[in-house]
Structure 1
């Protein structure tokens, strides 16, 4: 593997601002590299050492300095438990390598060899963690390809409560169904005294009736024999404040993003059709005043205003008024994305997403497209969308950041692909081979017996984990059964 080539695959990985901002955030607060770092002094010291060495590697020009900092990264990484493949650790190290290559050219052969070993170690840690967790949590940002992801999960041998398009891998007891419509605005659009077929509109914005914790979620999924589920609302834990929101690190977390402009248009088309289907001939009652950007913005406040950020930061942020999402929310969402999402998919980057599905999830079947828009939906789109573009400017920045993180992840996946190629393993067999090698290597390092394992990453049953094995969000603990 050539890091020089890998660092340019795709070009977004050399997006200097995004990579520098991640390194700076980690250097200022190494705790962001691991959500549970504060529970162990040794882990925190290791994360501090990783952040320091990564920043130094990105800045240093000489080959001897690069070797020194790579050795420091390898040493610090050895102190991070194998079962905790903290995504931000992987991304900070790749960011440092990409920036070093971007600024100072290729590494020396000796340094590149060390870097390749480091990236192999990061990939093995990802596989081990995924195998132990055994369940996928998919953050389904509506109109961003989530229906296709759910169908792919079924085709790749996963199980869930319901794979039908209307259910989209949701678990009814978790209350994660999508919320789009401001029902007060919906009702106000209907003239007084006028009854319609859709007086009671679906997908209204409302809080969860009862929040189900990450521990309770995984326990319920394991009991039911499910290996994947989707959350199409927002993160748990953030009902009071966005800083307390978290995605479930006791599962393999997956996020798919779509460019906010395309998603906004798709959302409008979807709801225009939904009003037609639910209201029948009464749809025009709600749009007598027109269907301009302002109307859609009032009717679908979250969906039309930085919906990706709102989906990342929990209920308090999700329900903020239009225009209330700030740059501080964006920065927090960036940290959560880098820190808490194991696998990131970008809808517009098909080849990159295939790579992530193959080596991040261990899936072998990923050619699917579901949920095409009906033919009559375009007429609901306003002639001018500039207002909505302004209201989604922060989401565009988060999308760009996510694309850079996904491209960085692909550098690690390239190492996995190269290992498989050198071993003469067919692409469809690679993850099983890599999982086996990861377990063998990890146990050999600890002096234990090498044991064989098979199967793929995403639909394995998962081991029974102790509380200390979980990567929890803030203050998250394993819970009991879901009522």
Structure 2
């Protein structure tokens, strides 16, 4: 066999390189076509995706996943419509009917909208206009995350000071319970006001004490869960039953801890096929470094005693999610 000359080797290498470039270009082109087709499908769909974003329960994950699947969203506010997040909540927004919300979303060109607040009385009544989605998270884990993010962001100003300039602070390692006192609650409220939170309702949505008192139930039963009508310790089983009825109105219920299983609902209802990891997930090492299990706010036993209503509502949501996931799995399997 005649050994190849250096010239022949150069030609072969150039051909291989050209082939690799061609394959890469074709993959990019195919990906662009695929994404464009997803965007076209989302825009042409009559129903708008309406996501109830419970604070610290996978809202950023859903927003990013929506964008990955070609949905048009409000990129300036974590997919929340203006006036529907805790920082921007306004009476004008709360007074809109679901039909007015649909028309506003259409005018803005959105195919996916989120609201990070409590439900309004008739908000889930436009079934022909919206696909209603909720993601839930283990209540205690959600509460710990809520306190954790606010002690690092709002309470300590670790990432950005309230006059707009970056600021780093050295803080002592403290128990989480130290961040749930009335003193720190007053600090939180004062600093939230400095950040121009537009209403007391917005402040209440981020309040550490309310966060630890049947928060999911409060979200589902509406404004009175945050306007002072139901103070700490006043949530009853009756409120829990009301919240469970609200859960029955959602088209899609996802469990953050079981998102890999439940995402088939999004495939079934919306045709979504692109998935990302859980956003803003903190590593176990960071969690262990900052506090031990015994340092958690209120402690597991006290939390469970104070949040029996929420735990029952969450279990009902989990059961519904399992049922909806099984139904979606059957539907998608039969369509193949």
TM-score normalized with structure 1 length: 0.47
State whether structure 2 residue 237 is matched by structure 1 residue 324.
Answer: no
1:367 to partner: Cα distance: 3.0
Counterpart position of 2:330:
415
Counterpart position of 1:231:
115
Q: 1:259 to 1:406 in 2, by over 3 A?
A: same
Structure 1 unaligned spans of 5+: 1-130, 179-202, 238-243, 422-483
Q: Kindly report which structure 2 residues correspond to 1:49-198, keeping only aligned pairs within 5 A, or say none.
A: 133-162=46-75, 167-172=77-82, 175-178=83-86
1:236 to partner: Cα distance: 1.9
1:307 to partner: Cα distance: 1.1
The structure 1 residue matched to 2:131, chosen from 238, 243, 252, is 252
Larger radius of gyration: 2
Counterpart position of 2:222:
314
Contact 1:236 1:315 in 2 (8 A): yes
TM-score normalized with structure 2 length: 0.66
Partner-residue secondary structure (3-state), 1:301 = helix
Aligned length in residues? 253
The structure 2 residue matched to 1:402, chosen from 296, 306, 317, is 317
1:328 to partner: Cα distance: 0.8
The structure 2 residue matched to 1:366, chosen from 267, 275, 299, is 275
Contact 2:135 2:256 in 1 (8 A): yes
1:288 to partner: Cα distance: 12
Contact 2:217 2:313 in 1 (8 A): yes
Distance 1:289 1:372 in 2: 19
CA deviation map 1:36-66 (0-9, x unaligned): xxxxxxxxxxxxxxxxxxxxxxxxxxxxxxx
CA deviation map 1:229-257 (0-9, x unaligned): 101001123xxxxxx66465331100000
Q: Kindly report which structure 2 residues correspond to 1:393-472, keeping only aligned pairs within 5 A, or say none.
A: 393-421=308-336
Counterpart position of 2:152:
273
Partner-residue secondary structure (3-state), 1:229 = strand
Partner-residue secondary structure (3-state), 2:211 = coil
RMSD: 3.2
With a CA cutoff of 8 Å and minimum separation of 6, indicate the structure with the bigger relative contact order.
1
Distance 1:297 1:255 in 2: 28
Distance 2:176 2:70 in 1: 48
1:216 to partner: Cα distance: 0.9
Q: 1:251 to 1:316 in 2, by over 3 A?
A: same
Counterpart position of 2:91:
208
State whether structure 2 residue 270 is matched by structure 1 residue 391.
Answer: no
Distance 1:354 1:272 in 2: 31
CA deviation map 1:148-191 (0-9, x unaligned): 000000000000121x5xx210111xx2113xxxxxxxxxxxxx
Q: 1:246 to 1:354 in 2, by over 3 A?
A: closer
Counterpart position of 2:178:
291
